[in-house]
Chains A and B, each alone.
Chain A
Amino acid sequence: MKAILVPVLTWLGLLASAALSLWFGILATPVLAQDGPLRIEITEGVIEPMPYAVPAFVAETDGAAAFTEEVSRVVADDLNGTGLFREIPRDAHISRISSFNAPVPFADWKAINAQALVTGAVSTDANGRVVVKFRVWDVFAGQELGQGMQFVSTPDGVRRLAHKVADQVYSRLTGEAPYFDSRVVFISETGPKNERVKRMAIMDYDGANVQYLTNGASIVLAPRFSPDGSRILYTSYETGFPAVHVLNVGDVQSRILQPNDGVMSFAPRFSPDGATVVYSLTQGSNTDIWAMDIASATPRRLTASPAIETAPSYSPDGSQIVFESDRSGTQQLYIMPASGGEATRISFGQGRYGTPVWSPRGDLIAFTKQNAGRFHIGVMRTDGSEERLLTASFLDEGPTWAPNGRVIMFSRETQGAQGASALYSVDISGRNLKRVRTPAGASDPSWGPLQ
């Protein structure tokens, strides 16, 4: 096995964010015939995690040694965090990778039952940028899985480089779209329940790199990313009344979407093209759903029932809106055309259904369910069939989808006077429930796009 590494062959694109620029390219590699590539099938049943190994990435330049441990650690944390992979600890490894280009001694990895192997190297270039290269190997077939790739960024983007590597590994081993290089906007919560201070914050999907976007002087609720991640809709009490605001992530400047004294607007969400906002507006005792073209600031009323209509969410093609209404007497889920009009009820189980969110794949709707004194996060098909509850607790609410539609993040508040809110994630199969690391209490997550 001889892997020939040549300089970056193809520039696939330029990805820019406020914090860093990041480039990636494919490394040329001999094409190997593969029949039946290594693949973990994600099914609804219990699965046996795939054993894999990530030996420490090789430092190819003096400056790179500072990054190798962090990069390989983040790659492993991303993969382990899915519950689909089981890392074979380093102290069990037989061989060490001392050179990225050296042939892989597959027998040594077979001996410890590593089905997949991720090898990588880190270097720094003349401009001080960090370059990460990696390859994924099917150990038992003795073949490379896909092509080697490299990613480049400034040193402050090293974690993103690692997330990019892990995204590639995840995609190649599952066949699913990736989600690790993504961010979450949420509400950071401190203080007791009756004096809670709420600040909007943004972080990497795994809880790293938290940045605060508001100062806590006003109540802020339920932020929602725009489809491209550049803007955030949220509800703020800054004017004394709850109103929908829109914030530019780049310069952290915000404005009220629809200044209107004494009228409450809340529960906003972007349309898939980012041009329209759908939200709730309260007039008198009635809360209805409205849509507003952002450029022209022209609001349009979509529902006209005396009931409470709120928590609207577009289908990924933008043609429909799922929302909750208590027009039947209790909160239930309905779907209507994006232009308004007749709505079809889709939830019929026991209990109350709220905060529906359409999955990015379009096939499922996640929701909050309240039944018999417990709260659940669940999913159902868009016609209401195959309802599945994924969680149960004193208070779970506010689901948000990972960009690939495989994982849901939500808020969980604990019971009692000392109750606090935290973020959790769960696979749509109901497996792998785990807490997301945040510096303080946290609620109302909104998962942004893959960067």
Chain B
Amino acid sequence: MKHISKAFLLGAALAVAACSNANRFDDDMVGQDAAATRIDNGIIPGSVNDPRAPAYFNQTIGDRVFFEVDQSTLTAQARATLDAQAQWLTTNSDYLAVIEGHADEQGTREYNIALGARRANTVMEYLISRGIPANRLKFISYGKERPVEICSEEACYSKNRRSVTIISQGLTG
């Protein structure tokens, strides 16, 4: 009897997940059980409210941290975000992460690649210091090649000087 009700709940959970965020359907398979039990608490599995969902990592915790001009040191706010990222990665130990480093357009192409690498590596080392195994992490720099904001003002530059932690499921899950 218990088995049947669980299957029923799972079906319902997946249906909701599919409606709310079709792209995350595959990711949700990991958290079947948790999702099935938590749906009663009003948490939509796979959503930004589901602590096990990538959407929660990307949006509720925040997948990115920002840097001052020419700097790769972490602000207090960045450290708080990364603490939460580390906690999530500890809980969801089957996820790998690639940390992207980016720079704003004020700088030469070559220097910005190296600067983006410094930023991404700083984030990676911080996550390692918070207990994430180095073999789950990689970093890459895009320099100034991939801005998210395109104006030539500080309002945009401050959003482009960033590192973004891109999570993906490993084979160990």
The interface of chain A, by Cβ under 8 A from chain B, is 192-194, 196, 198, 219, 221-222, 240-242, 262, 264, 266-267, 280, 282, 284-285, 287, 308, 310-311, 324, 326, 331, 354-355, 368, 370, 394-395, 397-398, 413, 415-417, 419, 444
In the complex, what's the smallest C-beta–C-beta distance from A189 to chain B, in angstroms?
A: 11
Closest residue of chain B to A288, judged by CB?
B114
Q: Which listed residue (A192, A240, A285, A355) contacts B121, Cβ 8 A?
A: A285
Q: Are B111 and A262 in touch, CB under 8 angstroms?
A: no
Task: Choose the segment among B29-37, B83-91, B138-146 that binds chain A (4+ C-beta atoms closer than 8 Å).
Answer: B138-146
With a cutoff of 8 Å between Cβ atoms, the chain B residues found around residue A310 in the complex are 110-111, 113-114
Given contacts A264-B140, A282-B117, A282-B141, contact A419 B110 (CB under 8 A): no
Find the A residue at minimum CB distance from B140.
A241
B109 part of interface (Cβ distance < 8 Å): yes
Check A354 against B118 for contact (C-beta < 8 Å).
Answer: no
A251 to B109 CA separation, bound complex (whole angstroms): 28
B-side contacts of A267, CB under 8 Å: 110, 113
Beyond the given A192-B150, A222-B110, A397-B108, could you list 18 further A-B residue pairs with CB under 8 A, ordered by the A residue number? Answer: A194-B146, A240-B140, A241-B140, A242-B113, A262-B138, A264-B113, A266-B113, A282-B141, A284-B121, A285-B72, A287-B117, A308-B111, A308-B118, A311-B111, A326-B111, A370-B106, A370-B107, A419-B152
Which 10 interchain pairs have the tightest Cβ spacing?
Answer: A287-B114, A285-B121, A354-B108, A308-B114, A193-B150, A417-B150, A415-B152, A267-B110, A282-B117, A310-B110
B-side contacts of A354, CB under 8 Å: 107-108, 110-111
Q: With A285-B72, A308-B115 as known contacts, state yes or no: A398 contacts B109, CB within 8 Å.
A: yes
> Which residues of B95-114 have CB atoms within 8 Å of chain A's CB atoms?
105-111, 113-114
Tell me if A416 and B110 are in contact (CB < 8 A). no
The reply to whether the CB of B147 lies closer than 8 angstroms to some CB of chain A is yes
Q: Does B94 contact A (CB under 8 A)?
A: no
Cβ contacts under 8 Å, B72 to chain A: 285
The one of A194, A196, A222, A262 that contacts B149, using a Cβ cutoff of 8 Å: A194
A-B contact pairs, 13 of them (CB 8 A): A193-B150, A196-B145, A242-B140, A264-B140, A266-B110, A267-B113, A280-B110, A282-B113, A285-B121, A331-B111, A354-B111, A417-B150, A417-B151
Which chain B residue lies CB-closest to A417? B150
Q: B113-151: contact bitstring with A at CB < 8 Å (1 yes, 0 no)? A: 111011001100100000000000010111001111111
B141 contacts A324, C-beta separation under 8 Å: no
CA separation between A241 and B139, bound complex, in Å?
Answer: 9
Establish whether residues B117 and A368, one from each chain, have CB atoms under 8 Å apart when the complex forms. no
Q: Find chain B residues with CB under 8 A from A222 CB.
A: 109-110
Bound state CA distance, A221 and B111, in angstroms? 13
Shortest CB–CB separation between residue A311 and chain B, in angstroms? 5
Q: A193-B150, A285-B122, A416-B152 are in contact. Are A219 and B145 (CB under 8 A)?
A: yes
Separation of A242 and B109 alpha carbons in the complex (Å): 13
Q: Out of A241, A398, A415, which one reaches B108, CB within 8 Å?
A: A398
Nearest Cβ on chain B to A328's Cβ, whole angstroms: 13
Chain B nearest CB, measured from A422 CB (Å): 15
A219 to B141, CA, bound (A): 12
Contacts of A287 in B (CB 8 A): 114, 117-118
* Residue among B121, B141, B147, B150 facing the most chain A CB atoms (10 A cut-off): B150
Q: Is the CB of B107 within 8 A of A194?
A: no
A240: chain B residues at CB < 8 Å are: 140
